[in-house]
Amino acid sequence: MSRQSDDETLWSQEVHLLQPSRHLNPSLIDFIDHLQSFEYVPEISEVADLMDLHTSTVWKMMKTLKQRGLELQGLIDVSRLGMVEVVLIFDKFLEIFELPKCLLREYAPVLPWGSYLRYVVPRNAVETFLTSLYVKLGVEAREVYVLPTTIYSKPSLKEYYDITTRRLLLSWDKLLARIKSSPRESLPRESPGEKIRYDEIDLHIVREL
């Protein structure tokens, strides 16, 4: 069987298996789920009280997760800062050095030939931002999505991790359906009536976040 046929067979499977370098146990999975339940960055003592554990035990579990290649990240809800996320898809490949980088959050080439960009922009300045961006690049995006709230990535290990085989069982069809159903809206033709005040200091804070 050819290499191409092998690849097609692999990707045609509904469920794919990922093998982490070191396995997780039920207590660590439960610990991760508890941490992801917070809507803010908790103190160690708060996590210990919630799970009825000693603070030293929480520290040990955090250290174990780090040793096994897992890390936790705090995400800022841009809507609370008067911002929105603007996702753009271009049919043209754009070099990273061509792009305004102050509010750029994600950049990636898109196969076979295009670009994906994600910016954080003041809520009432989306159209102004896009106009200036198009003038600078000399090309308009094929697709534009304005995300009014931050979409948090909180994968449930209880849903995906199989204790018996010690593997992550991922259904790409389910993941794709979940992404397509995520909240999003197209670019409005008129700016919202709500006025938001911001200055260079505010933009600097957003850039640092």
Question: Hey, what domains does the chain have and what are their CATH numbers?
Answer: 16-74+171-176 (1.10.10), 78-148+186-191+198-208 (3.30.70)
Q: Is the peptide bond before 112 cis (omega within 30 degrees of 0)?
A: yes
Q: What is the mean pLDDT of residues 79-90?
A: 88
pTM: predicted TM-score of the whole model, two decimal places: 0.52
Sequence-distant (6+) residues with CB within 8 A of 125 are 191
CB atoms within 10 A of CB 128: 12
Count CA within 13 A, CB hemisphere, residue 107: 12
The crossing angle, in degrees rounded to 10, of helices 44-51 and 55-67 is 100
Q: What is the rounded distance in angstroms from the CA atom of residue 117 to the CA atom of residue 10?
A: 30
What tens digit of pLDDT does each residue of 102-126 get? 889 889 998 788 999 999 999 889 9
